[in-house]
Structure 1
């Protein structure tokens, strides 16, 4: 993938993060919360981030599939071999709770596979970015690119997975969506491993924790949409890991007729028999 597109996505995520923070840090803001058809919350920050990101990405030759945008019928989408998939504010519930655990997610998908991904944590000022040929990286304390080239960003970033020594088997789980099936999985892991630690987090941060090496696995046995996982999927793939469909050897794929993901597990790549 051309480096200018990666930089475009990074700039879009950083600017969207700044726009979100301006609303988040305004003590007078009520976030203008609405309810979507599925009863999930939508705030003014979701809408503003969507506008900002599409403003950056519309200058590229690829169509955009955004959670907050118009979802075209599959008859039209099925002809897309490459496209952007965006969650302008992943973790809206966490945003409303003001716990800081929300992200900006941007991915570039080619032939149903997430090839490039950018995830930005506005409150922590942490940027994850990856491309399948370049690898996966994390930058801390970043609010803008400042004109830096991609090579300069990579030179100042930490390559993922970072070296992490763990004496426990770490499972990362959703802070807002811990399903009974996930609880059963956790109990199964406790029988297989001598020491199990459970880490709770919101949004796509959970995927990033596995990519970093801070967690061994992230099971998700509850509903998610393609835009929830695409950017994180690109990052874990570039870090040598995978997001497998639960109970199968196949990874998640994208631009399906139904944009709902099946249940999945984020973990190191499995050895093929």
Structure 2
């Protein structure tokens, strides 16, 4: 894939995340019903509307899509895809239902099992994170208005390179809704080296974004996640100079596996 090809797909992914975010916000500001899937995880009309909006753009690219809202595609078919989109139309549905603003739209481009592009949009904050091979990772504020008017070059020029240097104590970030005992133990181990270390809690893929932007130093995830929860953030972290690796062998997460469940992982400095 050429840089020009990747540039076109990056622009498509950015537009799709913004469009998905607009649909989510339209639901967020009104009353909405909550359904529950077979695994007892919540689902709202916002998930469905964001999925449909995103698909309108991504289907035009000719690249197949693996989405949380379309997870039933057989591995026999997916295994033939060297290149695919991995999409979570609404990451952090629990946070959406709580109305705390900590939810995102995630779109990643995966090539041969590795993420080569990631775009994450935070609708309530109107902040866009994106990273891609050859472009590094960047953050754009007040994104919706800027994206609707600008080309990718303008977006790149208006955005800030990640990570940013910040003066702070060693900071760990954990899940707001899924903190495990193993994660708590990991944090205690860190405090032996950094007694003043702080722990911050966030929902959705915002945790990976915090490491990528320089707001946190490490994010351990010792609880279940799916590929669409992490693929976009993985790319953004990677191209900001961080790694998303399994704690047992320090190897990076892989995508488009037969089992779409992720192993445990840690986001940290590469």
**Superposition TM-score tier, normalisation by shorter sequence:** over 0.9
* Matching residue of 1:18: 22
* Matching residue of 2:94: 93
Equivalent residue of 1:68, what SS? Answer: helix
Equivalent residue of 2:22, what SS? Answer: helix
Q: RMSD between aligned alpha carbons?
A: 0.9
For the residues of structure 1 that align with 2:85 and 2:179, how far apart are their CA atoms? Answer: 29
* Matching residue of 2:214: 213
For the residues of structure 2 that align with 1:132 and 1:161, how far apart are their CA atoms? Answer: 16
Deviation at 1:72, TM superposition (A): 1.2
Equivalent residue of 1:14, what SS? Answer: helix
- TM-score between the two structures when normalised by the length of structure 1: 0.95
Pick which of 103-112 and 64-73 moved more: 64-73
Matches within 5 A, 1:128-143: 128-143=129-144
Deviation at 1:81, TM superposition (A): 0.3
Structure 1 residue 120 and structure 2 residue 124: aligned? no
Q: Is the Cα–Cα contact under 8 Å of residues 132 and 237 in structure 1 kept in the other structure?
A: no
Name whichever structure is richer in helix by fraction.
Answer: 2
C-alpha offsets along residues 75-109 of structure 1, whole Å, 9 cap, x if unaligned? 11111100000000000000000000000000000
For the residues of structure 1 that align with 2:142 and 2:51, how far apart are their CA atoms? Answer: 23
Greater than 3 Å deviation, 4+ residue runs: none
Equivalent residue of 2:258, what SS? Answer: coil
* Matching residue of 2:44: 43
* Matching residue of 1:160: 162
* Matching residue of 1:230: 231
For the residues of structure 2 that align with 1:266 and 1:208, how far apart are their CA atoms? Answer: 10
Equivalent residue of 1:252, what SS? Answer: coil
For the residues of structure 2 that align with 1:235 and 1:6, how far apart are their CA atoms? Answer: 12
Matches within 5 A, 1:1-273: 1=3, 2=5, 3-26=7-30, 29=31, 31-144=32-145, 145-166=147-168, 168-269=169-270
Deviation at 1:146, TM superposition (A): 2.5
For the residues of structure 2 that align with 1:231 and 1:18, how far apart are their CA atoms? Answer: 19
For the residues of structure 1 that align with 2:52 and 2:142, how far apart are their CA atoms? Answer: 24
For the residues of structure 1 that align with 2:51 and 2:79, how far apart are their CA atoms? Answer: 23
Structure 2: give runs of 5+ residues left out of the alignment: none
Residues 189/70 of structure 1: CA separation in 2 closer, same or farther (3 Å cut): closer
Deviation at 1:70, TM superposition (A): 4.3
Q: Is the Cα–Cα contact under 8 Å of residues 246 and 262 in structure 1 kept in the other structure?
A: no
Q: Is the Cα–Cα contact under 8 Å of residues 179 and 222 in structure 1 kept in the other structure?
A: yes
For the residues of structure 1 that align with 2:121 and 2:246, how far apart are their CA atoms? Answer: 25
Structure 1: give runs of 5+ residues left out of the alignment: none
Equivalent residue of 2:60, what SS? Answer: coil
